[in-house]
Chains A and B, each alone.
Chain A
């Protein structure tokens, strides 16, 4: 039992090492992926050519994620993005048995309960999370119309679990996709993400 756990850690560490070496880089083509969404439909980055895509790493059990979902802030951001033609994909990389992991059916209920309309993709093997180097929940990525990674980092500038702080924080994700839509360059293209660790 112990040996399997140790092996597990080694494999995970090796996977992390490999993924860190290939982790998505600003200004380079964002790596493509294929995942099943919570309705069982296959979704890949290639499905959205010529569209700006936001990736959000999510875990409903994490207090930093709750900060944005409990009073509807994240849902509102997702709707606002949709209105501007921006694709929003939430990805859950929690491994089975770890916090935040849910089956597709549980996800459908949970998302409905929170009034979430954005699509949620299940990455229980953590492959896509490691491909992008997702560290925290939330951890945000913005990909431009040409498929190039334009933003990697925190959701906003105030690191806390308090919903009240959202109002005073600078939202990096909205700033990033708006710059991309305007054809300009993203001012802070890389920031340190904050939140709970992704439960690989």
Chain B
């Protein structure tokens, strides 16, 4: 008999197309390694019913079937349903698997009796008074020490009847349904590290929960090594699990989903042992998870205290105030001069200019908001003014401001226009009004930080649509004075008439420009250090020479040759100035404090700045050294610090043992730190290393995901 089925199986496999010609069997069928049956929770079916059917396997001892991700080896069962039209059968639902060891491999699989559920829905227009026939073609792979494929064509007839009644399988099917991993809208994030994947799950139900044999079954194949142990650390409502990376992991992983198993049950879901989590389940919850990790390190309380309405009011006021900022004020003055000129013109035209300006402001704010939203979705957590973290952006802004200021002063003039960059601003077309709106926004951004901080932080924590609204209101606030002026020409008429005073006013306007330059130079200083700053100022000096040369010999009354030569010469000088001023990559690392500099962190620990020489000399002195290779963009690093350095026990032990703490900050890719990481055969952070202080002692490399006990154990070796 068995032999017959073996033959039949081989035959079926080799000619799949003949499957449907096969007979379907009713009731329990006997296969080599399992008894298989199609069962239903109801005995009688009526039109409109929805109920569970189950593919029931009763496996012979030691034989198992596989979960959707089978682990090291294996393959999940597959089914094809055949039902009358109007009847639908849902996907096969896999229960929570077990880890089954067939040394040295670990499979995610099932042994014993297992029920794979599927939801059946009978449509409202389907007549089942004569009964319902459900057929399934099932294929599976059963393995013990060896693997054997199996298949069965099963059939189930349910009698028709007005009262759907429970079958003898109803209890066990509802039990199976109840024990199915429940989908939870948990905040989920993961980070792919050198040897592991650090998975962070944030869910209120994890708070205060005790875990036994906590395990994450990833649905994605070839990502997690099923044969290796998973470790975890718990911090409030966040659990971070270190998933050993599969040897066959390559490239990237877009999403992670799967079953989180806790032997002692999750009390938040009635003691059920398994929950289902998905990193793409809900965008909002992912953001929540991020901020909860942040919440432990930063203090973004003010973010959530603002309601949307309040934020909109703040945004409008903020926008208004922007007009008074030194970086916007010059634009304001140019624009007012524009209005002064236009005041004699058609009133409608003046208002249209106001509108064009407003649109210019709006569009620029939308572009900024779009950039922020896009960056946020890539996982970078950026605040307002993030452009100012980029020395290149600051440099460009500085040059614009400085050149603009020189021009206002009258050092040179762009062509025939009074104010170089503002030539378009000053023009009379609607395009120029639009452009001046854009320019005003671009120039205003550096000043918004302190005023707009809370409103923008709030905006960034909202959905894309809501944050766009906040940005729009901000833009409207900024454009409001212009719009009001252009709508009420009387107010414009009240403005002073153009005259000689304008030249004086224009020159005076250079000073707010230079004031802004002072501020920008100061910002540059934070990026490039004192030496870099000398280069920046030198660059500005050369740029001013270029501007002066251009202004002196390029004026319209000069001979054409003189003008041409001077234009080329001043251009060359200007390029030299720009090159000198532009932040070099080596400069940007200049902020790294000199080696050995000490700084205390928010956990009250004093860290020295990493250098190989420092570590070598400390080791020579026989001092124990703890090195934290970290980066600001590394979430796992942050989580490690929160968990470990908040522990008084760890801090006490550090002090008792006189451990010297050294921090290697890899936020900017520092080649010295890259080399150091390579010396430990790593290419990324986090990496925590402990030298026990014995001469020539091998360093202890701590795992990527830390908890206090791991660090304490390591410290015990000193």
Contacts and interface: CB of A to CB of B under 8 A. Distances in A.
B160 interface: no
A147 interface: no
A135 interface: yes
B538 to A, nearest CB: 47
A97 to B, nearest CB: 10
A191 to B, nearest CB: 6
Assign chain B's interface to a size class.
Answer: 20 to 34
A191 B145 contact: no
Nearest to A153: B248
B141 A161 contact: yes
B28 interface: no
Interface size range of chain A in the complex: 35 or more
A31 interface: no
Interface string A5-17: 0000100110010
Interface in A1-38: 9, 12-13, 16, 20, 23
B250 A99 contact: no
Given A98-B145, A164-B16, A133 B103 contact: no
Contacts of A133: 247
User: SS class of chain B's interface: helix, strand, loop or mixed?
Assistant: loop
Nearest to A23: B247
Contacts of B75: 159-161, 194
Interface in B123-179: 141, 143, 145-149
Contacts of A61: 146
Contacts of A16: 103-104
B105 interface: yes
A197 B248 contact: no
A51 to B, nearest CB: 26
A177 to B, nearest CB: 18
A104 interface: no
A135 B105 CA distance: 8
Given A194-B75, A199-B145, A199-B146, A12 B103 contact: yes
Nearest to B222: A192
A135 to B, nearest CB: 6
B73 A194 contact: yes
Contacts of A197: 72-73, 102, 105, 143, 147
Interface string A45-78: 0000000000000000111100100110000000
Tell me the dominant secondary structure on chain A's binding face.
loop
B246 interface: yes
Given A13-B104, A63-B148, A192 B14 contact: no
Contacts of A63: 13, 141, 147-149
Contact of A163 (B14, B103, B143): B14
Interface in A173-189: 188-189
B587 interface: no
Interface centre among A16, A162, A189 (most CB of B within 10 A): A162
B147 A62 contact: yes
Interface in B330-353: none
Contacts of B73: 135-136, 194-197
B639 to A, nearest CB: 28
Given A63-B141, A63-B148, A99-B146, A162 B13 contact: yes
A22 to B, nearest CB: 12
A141 interface: no
A46 B72 CA distance: 31
B221 interface: yes
Contacts of B14: 70-71, 163-164
Contacts of A107: none
B158 to A, nearest CB: 31
A160 B73 CA distance: 12
User: Which one of B104, B145, B221 has the highest number of Cβ atoms from chain A below 10 Å of its Cβ?
Assistant: B104
B103 A161 contact: no
Interface in B93-108: 102-105
A62 B250 contact: no
Nearest to A130: B104
Contacts of B147: 62-64, 196-197
B13 A161 contact: yes
Given A12-B104, A161-B141, A189 B148 contact: no
B146 A192 contact: no
A179 B250 CA distance: 18
A160 B103 CA distance: 23
Given A12-B103, A16-B104, A188 B13 contact: no
A191 B248 CA distance: 5
A190 interface: yes
A135 B13 contact: no
A200 interface: yes
A198 to B, nearest CB: 9
Contact of A190 (B146, B149, B250): B250
Interface in B69-84: 72-73, 75
Given A62-B147, A197-B72, 8 more contacts: A16-B103, A23-B247, A135-B72, A162-B13, A162-B16, A196-B147, A197-B105, A197-B143
Pick the 3 closest A-B CB pairs, nearest first: A192-B222, A192-B248, A16-B104
15 contacts: A12-B103, A16-B103, A61-B146, A63-B141, A64-B147, A71-B14, A98-B145, A153-B248, A161-B13, A164-B14, A188-B250, A191-B248, A197-B72, A197-B147, A199-B145
